[in-house]
A = this chain, B = another copy of it.
């Protein structure tokens, strides 16, 4: 990429679902945990590996933040969209899809959406030419059929909430429903999705139009029923099998880009949307994901929920390295805007920051030194430099360790925040606020900056945990 001129590289953005910081080889796990990930590790060795990639704490919020470059609360999507909910991505939002479309790209969205279930919230209304192997919700929906019959759900629910695969081949047109996304289809959906992606990569390699593919892979979100070829591949059961299947699919994409002869002009991103599910037991199998050295899991305010895996490969432009500065999932939008030489809309707060020079090694420090974390609609935590500051004490129930997440806040907000030094105390076990009361000032400033933007640009109504039928 020339120093001053925008370029138009192809971009393949692979987003894994709930992959933990402590799951893959290049982050210290993989083979060591009985599930080798040679393809992801090899990709990392050719990429800038982000060792402090920060996200939102669950699927819908983090995907909203990724696509819009904004805190999900600004889009009314800080709570996961549940089957039958009426909410979703607003037509006012400007997404990665819009950005690449404005740059003249061929654009495709693959797989999981989880940003609304109405036609007008679908990807093809946000700059994506096509949506393929799509489904509205999350992969746990693939179990609905089995669960509904097991638990005698009302017939109306069985009909309305069966997740179906969708296809949209016309930009701006609603999708068409296809076959149900049940546990059988779930076994192979990533493989089918990647088969199709490989054809797209091959087709586009001979085109003068660059392409952008955003791929919502479904692994290793539960249920962990791998395809037949990966059953028993790992030493730790279904979860490990599915991580290995994910790794295999990443390898297929890497190979396809190389075989198509476009490796030098293609940015390949591999990232996870949020931390792992650790405590769930699904389909009678223990979930065995790990957040590595960090505390907590998906849905919680702890670091293990919001720090996960990410790497960016751009041969000849981004040097291979491991970097440890803060990079948010919201930073992709402004970074790609810089690469493409496009301006982002100025009529809304954009929380992401351009990280191109940091990723390229042109500056030693990340352009980010703070981050706000919402859990549901609650401003739960503030990150400022190495400090994680919590607005309220948070815990798991002592009688039922599965009660955490949105239900985990003890109903006694502290006047002062709790303060954990994430470098000194990676497992966040020692509140150091008492000796560091000066943290009140940066804490207030980070929140204050956010509140000032909300004053000018009020958030939509806070999302409800239950979207009551009207």
Contacts and interface: CB of A to CB of B under 8 A. Distances in A.
Contact of A288 (B28, B35, B425): B425
B424 A34 contact: yes
A28 B292 contact: yes
A378 to B, nearest CB: 27
19 contacts: A22-B293, A28-B51, A28-B292, A29-B293, A32-B51, A32-B52, A33-B423, A33-B424, A34-B386, A34-B424, A235-B423, A236-B386, A237-B424, A239-B424, A240-B424, A290-B293, A290-B426, A290-B427, A292-B292
A190 B314 CA distance: 43
A203 B34 CA distance: 46
Which of A29, A31, A32, A425 has the most chain B CB atoms closer than 10 A to its own CB? A32
Interface string A20-57: 00100001110111110000000000000001100000
Given A236-B421, A424-B237, A28 B27 contact: yes
A99 B51 CA distance: 43
Nearest to A432: B286
Nearest to A239: B424
Interface string A266-299: 0000000000000000000010101011000000
A26 to B, nearest CB: 10
Contacts of A32: 51-52, 324, 423
Contacts of A293: 22, 28-29, 290, 292-293
Contacts of A235: 386, 423
Q: Is the interface of A mostly helix, strand, loop or mixed?
A: loop
A414 interface: no
A430 interface: yes
A331 to B, nearest CB: 18
A281 B35 CA distance: 37
Contacts of A425: 286, 288
A423 B292 contact: no
Given A28-B292, A293-B293, 20 more contacts: A28-B51, A28-B293, A29-B293, A32-B51, A32-B52, A33-B423, A34-B423, A34-B424, A35-B423, A236-B386, A236-B421, A236-B423, A236-B424, A239-B424, A286-B430, A286-B432, A288-B424, A288-B425, A290-B293, A292-B293
Given A22-B293, A292-B292, A286 B28 contact: no
Contacts of A22: 293, 426
Contacts of A240: 423-424
Closest 7 CB pairs of A and B: A34-B423, A288-B424, A236-B424, A32-B324, A28-B28, A33-B423, A292-B293
A199 to B, nearest CB: 36
Nearest to A30: B324
A426 B35 CA distance: 13
Nearest to A385: B235
Contacts of A290: 293, 426-427
Which of A27, A33, A293 has the most chain B CB atoms closer than 10 A to its own CB? A293
Interface in A368-404: 386
A292 B28 CA distance: 10
Contacts of A52: 32
A276 to B, nearest CB: 12
Interface string A286-322: 1010101100000000000000000000000000000
Contacts of A324: 31-32
A42 to B, nearest CB: 13
Contacts of A239: 424
A289 to B, nearest CB: 10
A324 B235 CA distance: 14
Contacts of A33: 423-424, 426
Which of A52, A240, A425, A426 has the most chain B CB atoms closer than 10 A to its own CB? A426
A297 to B, nearest CB: 11
Nearest to A421: B236
Contacts of A292: 28, 292-293
B51 A424 contact: no
A33 B324 CA distance: 9
